[in-house]
Amino acid sequence: MVVLVLGILAVLGLLWAWNDRPDLAATGLPEAELATAAGGVRVTWLGVTTLLFDDGETRLLTDGFFSRPGLLDVLGERPVEPDLPGIDAALAAAGITALDAVMTVHSHYDHAMDAGEVAKRTGARVLGSASTANAARGAGLAEERIVVVEDGASRRFGRFTVTFLRSRHAPIGEDGGPPIPGTIDAPLATPAPISAWREGGSYTIVIAHPEGTALVQGSAGYVEGALDGVRADVALLGIGALSRLGRRHAERYWDEIVARTGVTRVLPVHYDDFTRPYGDVRPLPRAVDDAEQSLGWLADQAATGAAPVRIELLPFREPVALF
């Protein structure tokens, strides 16, 4: 009887911990205003680091991750595959029928899993590492629509100029490197466990436009000095696992990605629980990552820096004026 009671208490404790989630409203950070006027460049956050950039003529998407393997799939290393009806529904809900490019920040499943399928449905090319290329090949994407990027090389899409710069994943692996390290060395056939989507190298993506420049930092890592000479107006800043890395890392991360580039507006991304069904947007549990604490650290940096920086929370699936 005692063992049964203890077991029930343990289960209840785990359930409580999993449902104890940060309250982002408690940070006092404003929500970004929705785009209302025509013209300019808009960005729409579609969860994790999936971001739609649209200037009315050209549409670019980072990552394009819409499938949501569940918690048991992740913990149990169950074979998973892109959720094709889910991808179709997510694209339709976001009004995405055509894209010029799908650009992946690295090749973990929550970034590269759906890229090939999204490109097949929208006519896009997939840009990313050699590992991302093999993930796209596994989805059956035609070779002429796969682009392996080179560090520092730029590509034009309409009035956008896109540059990939080598960066680092948040150092949360057992050895201080990325989780699920390594490369994807052959076309990735699915179903496969999430560990098949290896990191494959991480990038900062700089998206320049005559109206302004944004950079997408999908993971809370950095290479010291890698962004020397880069100037940007807005940072779409991945904060996943930042609270686990500590305040000092958060300060260095801010210095390298935000202060060094002259960014004056920060839009945090990749703090949501991507084991939940698509569209059920909520922060990861505090036991995994405390986004409220991370945002507090970044707000302190914004308030004490040499130049004013505004941090705004992106609404889900609503276009926001970028510049």
Q: What is the CATH number of the domain that holds 173?
A: 3.60.15.10
C-alpha distances in angstroms, 110 versus 62, 181, 192? 12, 14, 14
Q: What percent of the chain has pLDDT over 90?
A: 91
Kindly report which listed range (17-21, 138-142, 178-182, 194-198) carries the lowest average pLDDT score.
17-21
Tens digit of pLDDT for each residue in 194-225? 999 999 999 999 999 999 999 999 999 999 99
For residue 261, tell me if it sits in a domain. Answer: yes
Do 132 and 84 form a contact (C-beta atoms < 8 A)?
Answer: no
DSSP string, 116-168: HHHHHHHTPEEEE-HHHHHHHHHTT--GGGEEE--TT-EEEETTEEEEEEEE-
Backbone φ, ψ for residue 152 (5° rounding): 85, -10
Mean pLDDT, residues 279-298 taken together: 97
Q: What percent of the chain has pLDDT over 70?
A: 94
* Average pLDDT along the chain: 94
- Residues 127-158 as b/e (b if ≥16 CB within 10 A, e otherwise) read bbbebbbbbbbbbebeeebbbebeeeeebebe
Q: How sure is the predictor about 1, in pLDDT bands with cuts at 50, 70 and 90?
A: low
Q: How confident is the model at residue 96 (pLDDT cuts 50, 70, 90)?
A: very high
3-state secondary structure of 191: coil
Q: Is residue 217 part of a domain?
A: yes
Residue 25 within a domain: no
Q: Is residue 300 part of a domain?
A: yes
Q: What span, in angstroms and rounded, lies between the C-alpha atoms of 240 and 198? A: 17
Give the confidence band of 305 by pLDDT, cuts at 50, 70, 90: confident
165: tokens are: 């710069």
Owning domain of residue 232:
46-317
Q: Does residue 62 fall inside a structural domain?
A: yes
Q: How many domains does the chain have?
A: 1
The pLDDT value recorded for residue 186 is 98
